[in-house]
Structure 1
Amino acid sequence: MSRVCELTGKGPMVGNNVSHANNKTKRRFLPNLNDVTLQSETLGRGVKLRISASALRSVDHRGGLDKFLAKAKDSELSAKALRIKQDIAKAQSAATADA
């Protein structure tokens, strides 16, 4: 399983461990990924995603998964998140056509 956030595309970064003697060795900074179930108001169901803690705060700040995905760039989203975004768009267009 890759260590990449499904909503923001945030992945591992590379840096150095620096000792007191200023010796430098390579290390990886991994994103803080969590398995969460986010509720989609439009679809009326929960969606399981593996996202970073900062992405979870961003989803809350924007007002939910539907609004976050509406503003998100397609290039940053995973294939699973893109499919969810398309399902939400279809459901919203069907709801406006019925009204």
Structure 2
Amino acid sequence: MSRRCDLTGKAVLVGHKVSHSNRKTKRRFLPNLCNVTFRSDVLGREVRLRVSANAIKTVDHRGGFDAFLVKARAEELSPRALEMKRAVEKAQVVAA
């Protein structure tokens, strides 16, 4: 399983650990990933995703899971989230 957020695309970064003597060694900055269940009102079901803590805040800020998917760019979403985005857009067109 990759260490990448399913919604925002946030992934592992690489940098240096710098000691007091200024010696630099490689290290990895891991994203804060959580297993979360989001409720989709348009689809009428719950979806389990592995997302970053930052993504949870962003979903709340944008007005919920469905609103986040509609506003999100397709390039940053995982294939599974992209399928849900298309399903939400399709359901909104049918409902309107």
TM-score normalized with structure 2 length: 0.97
1:40-55 matches, within 5 Å, as 40-55=40-55
Q: How far does residue 91 in structure 1 lie from its aligned partner after superposition?
A: 1.1
- CA apart distance, 1:45: 1.0
TM-score of the two chains, using structure 1 as the length reference: 0.94
Structure 1 residue 60, shift from structure 2 partner? 0.4
Unaligned stretches of 5+ residues in structure 1: none
- Could you list the runs of 4 or more consecutive aligned residues of structure 1 that deviate by over 2 angstroms after TM superposition? none
Aligned to 1:95: 95
| Identity over aligned pairs, percent | 59
| Distance in 2 (alpha carbons) for counterparts of 1:67 and 1:76 | 15
Unaligned ranges ≥5, structure 2: none
| Aligned equivalent of 1:21 | 21
The answer to whether structure 1 residue 4 and structure 2 residue 17 are counterparts is no
Per-residue CA deviations over 1:39-92 (Å, capped at 9, x if unaligned) read 011011111111000000000011101101111000000000000001111111
Aligned partner letter, 2:55: A
Q: How far 1:9 sits from its partner (Å)?
A: 0.6
Report SS of the residue matched to 2:74: coil
